[in-house]
Structure 1
Amino acid sequence: MIGVELVTSAMLRGLACPYCGLAVPADEADAVSAQAAWGWCAARAVAEGRTVGLLLLTPDGSGSRSPARIVTAFVAPELVGAGTGRELVRTAAAGLVRARVGSVRATSSAVRSCSSLPAGFLLATGFTPSERAGRWRLDLGATARVPFEGVMDRLERLVQSVRPVAPPEPAGRQVIGAWRS
């Protein structure tokens, strides 16, 4: 079974791309800036204690709503086509929606590498091509639903934080009157 999780830069130590063989540096500027912005920097797929996929992201600009950019992405060759890459994108998108990021940018190439993804994969996971060749964009506002929080939900949270409601007390035995014979 493959599990996908959001990870910090410290969890990237020792990971190497199966295509180019280069190790992913845990202190890379992209990973550090992503962790500072969102509290995590990558989505990692793990099977039987071994990392089988990685999607490393970074903020692509400054500001709270700046888009994210995929820096490194790979899935172990034996799992290509098994849905692992799709789960990496879904997990990262969910984390980015919680962080209020509006979109994800990616690049594609016909040559398999960890710095660009296949165009067919990007198209299948919801990315749309941009005007420039090899550039793709995933609009998180259009593809991921953010739960709507109404005014009453906010008011209820405010009331609970100011004056938490105590749980009801259990009914006790009380003697109301004494029986007289």
Structure 2
Amino acid sequence: MKHWKSLVTASALALSTLVGVANAQQPTKERGDHHLQFMATALDLTDAQVAQIKQIQSESKTSSQADRQQMKSLHQQLHALVTSESFDEGKASVLITQIHQQEASRMLEQAKEMNAIYKVLTPTQKTKAVKLFGASMHDGGMHGHGGPGPDGPPAPAQD
């Protein structure tokens, strides 16, 4: 049974490693431009607000690039362990811990960026943002198209 669990865990880690490397290689400029355009349209942002948000995103871009490189390296190391003939559980555990710490740090930076963007909005835009992006705000980014999240405001009453 223990070997079965190890095999399942190793398979899941290999898959997540491949996904992580693929995501790290996706150009962030394309993702950022799309999200900013969606926000600008959905929230009716002014040109000045768009410029402020671009500045906020630009400031966080440098640190996020370094984080992506580090995360890519960690995932590659984990992938090498998973696909090796002998599995070193201790090394895998250390790498997994480092990956989790890196993810937590990235989430904190995203939350700071989201807060800075939120502060740029007018009260009306803030209300609309919470309604539009509520679920995605809870998942770490103001870039989804979902409705209110589980901890967000309730959905409007249906008549």
Establish whether TM, by shorter chain, passes 0.5: no
Give the alignment's TM-score, normalised by structure 1. Answer: 0.28
User: Which has the higher relative contact order, 1 or 2, with Cα contacts under 8 A spaced 6 or more apart?
Assistant: 2
Task: Kindly indicate which of the two structures has a greater share of residues assigned to helix.
Answer: 2
Which is greater in Rg? Answer: 1
